[in-house]
């Protein structure tokens, strides 16, 4: 059975990546493509790598153009999706690649985004661990909440990397969620097509540039929310992204202290938490002991690769997670969640093989 999909914000990176994937998806027919200032021009001018859709003309982003599809993907600036989504019928699957509907706590939204909260949608990270009732020790996965969902909020790319790296240890009670520290090497496509001097190639090449240092990055409350869902009590995290000269990719180094009582755990035992969490997952994998993830391994793929180590001197577990920010971090995660919501095999149209070297 074929579903029709409209994409709003088709000339940007997130919208483009969604189209790159959907163009080869066997059960999807691509409908309306809309844009803001680029409306009226051909998609091939803005996304020349998507040959299959190069001739498509971009329509203005308004509700009329988005109506009449089975699925609507919103790849819009933060704050822009709430109003449009509210006008789409309840039985349309609406997938928001922006931040508007990710957070549960309206205060956290307002603290970091400064605008009124648009509401909370089912969270599109199928592999997110959900701790059961107190003391039950049972875990379910977010995937279960996505079946038949008609609204999905796709996670932030950095959030996906840090959550997948840390959550098994936290859900298993092996890691303390107090005093987490994460530093991420991130590619430039995460910043979008915005025209800013520090995003120019001449500034980026040969350089590493930190940003949002000191706790101001908007992905922080979302990471905290995820890890609480995975079973943490209070979460604190120092989070620093560093732009490095690559177009795609996130390499998240996230460290946590071993939880009290588990200071002497050996590596094989620690690894079991990650193995169990991900053994049945098609897109998230703990690498064999001793092999470390790199972003190139995941380029163009919906794959997240994780590795862990214990640093006895420092009393910390170090996790490293690699994803492609535009795929597993955005559009691939969206398509995976879409597949689940539509009752399709979750891997349909997605690959686990990275484009490397």
Q: Choose the stretch contacting a copy of itself; rule: CB under 8 A; options: 98-106, 160-168, 203-211, 271-279.
A: 203-211
Q: Choose the stretch contacting a copy of itself; rule: CB under 8 A; options: 118-126, 132-140, 165-173, 348-356.
A: 348-356
Q: Does 320 bind a copy of itself (CB under 8 A)?
A: yes
Q: How far apart are CA 41 and CA 39, in angstroms?
A: 6
> Which residue, 7, 15, 6, 19, is CA-closest to 69?
6
- Reply yes or no on whether 157 is catalytic: yes
Selected from 29, 40, 41, 48, the binder of a copy of itself by CB under 8 A is 48
Find the Cα–Cα–Cα–Cα dihedral 31, 157, 333, 284, rounded to 10°: 160
Would you say 130 or 271 has its CB closer to a copy of itself? 271
Active-site residue identified among 74, 157, 251, 327: 157
Distance in Å, CB of 214 to a copy of itself, minimum:
3
Would you say 87 or 107 has its CB closer to a copy of itself? 107
How distant, in Å, are the alpha carbons of 14, 29, 30, 34 from that of 64?
A: 22, 18, 16, 11
Q: H helices within 201-310, ranges in order?
A: 201-204, 220-229, 267-278
**136-141: long-range pairs with CB below 8 Å, 24+:** 139/171, 139/231, 139/277
Distance in Å, CB of 284 to a copy of itself, minimum:
10
Q: Does 209 bind a copy of itself (CB under 8 A)?
A: yes
* CB 268 within 8 Å of CB 206: no
Distance in Å, CB of 257 to a copy of itself, minimum:
7
Distance in Å, CB of 136 to a copy of itself, minimum:
30
Which residues ranging from 220 to 279 are in contact with a copy of itself (CB under 8 A)?
220, 236-240, 242, 244-249, 251, 253, 255, 257
What one-character-per-residue DSSP string does 254-266 give?
EEEEBPTT-TT--
Q: Does 77 bind a copy of itself (CB under 8 A)?
A: no
Size of the site for a copy of itself (CB under 8 A): 93
Q: How far apart are CA 154 and CA 34, in angstroms?
A: 19
> Which residue, 299, 293, 294, is CA-closest to 248?
299
Which residues ranging from 297 to 316 are in contact with a copy of itself (CB under 8 A)?
297-301, 303, 305, 307, 309-316
Sort strands 209-210 and 237-243 into parallel, antiparallel or unpaired.
antiparallel
Selected from 41, 45, 107, 263, the binder of a copy of itself by CB under 8 A is 45
Show which residues are catalytic.
Answer: 157
């Amino acid at each position: 059975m074929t579903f029709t999909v409209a994409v709003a914000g088709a000339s940007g990176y997130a919208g483009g990546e969604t189209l790159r994937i959907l163009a080869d998806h066997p059960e999807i027919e691509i409908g309306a493509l809309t844009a803001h200032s680029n409306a009226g021009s051909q998609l091939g001018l803005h996304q020349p790598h998507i040959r299959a859709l190069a001739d498509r003309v971009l329509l203005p982003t308004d509700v009329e153009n988005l109506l009449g599809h089975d699925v609507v993907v919103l790849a819009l600036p933060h704050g822009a999706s709430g109003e449009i989504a509210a006008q789409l019928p309840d039985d349309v699957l609406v997938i928001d690649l922006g931040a508007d509907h990710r957070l549960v706590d309206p205060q956290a939204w307002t603290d970091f985004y400064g605008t009124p909260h648009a509401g909370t949608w089912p969270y599109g990270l199928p592999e997110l661990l959900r701790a059961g009732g107190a003391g039950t020790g049972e875990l379910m996965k977010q995937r279960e909440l996505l079946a038949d969902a008609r609204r999905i909020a796709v996670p932030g790319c950095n959030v996906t990397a840090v959550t997948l790296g840390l959550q098994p240890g936290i859900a298993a009670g092996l890691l303390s969620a107090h005093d987490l520290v994460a530093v991420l090497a991130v590619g430039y496509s995460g910043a979008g097509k915005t025209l800013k001097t520090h995003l120019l190639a001449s500034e980026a090449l040969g350089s590493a540039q930190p940003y949002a240092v000191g706790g101001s990055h908007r992905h922080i409350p979302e990471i905290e929310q995820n890890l609480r869902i995975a079973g943490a009590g209070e979460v604190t995290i120092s989070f620093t992204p560093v732009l490095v000269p690559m177009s795609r990719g996130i390499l998240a180094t996230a460290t946590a202290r071993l939880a009290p009582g588990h200071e002497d755990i050996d590596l094989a035992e620690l690894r079991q938490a990650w193995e169990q969490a991900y053994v049945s997952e098609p897109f998230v994998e703990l690498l064999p002991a001793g092999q470390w993830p790199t972003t190139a391994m995941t380029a163009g793929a919906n794959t997240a690769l994780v590795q862990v180590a214990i640093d006895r001197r420092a009393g910390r577990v170090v996790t490293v997670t690699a994803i492609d920010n535009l795929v597993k971090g955005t559009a691939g995660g969206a398509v995976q969640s879409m597949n689940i919501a539509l009752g399709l095999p979750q891997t349909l149209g997605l690959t686990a093989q990275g484009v490397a070297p």
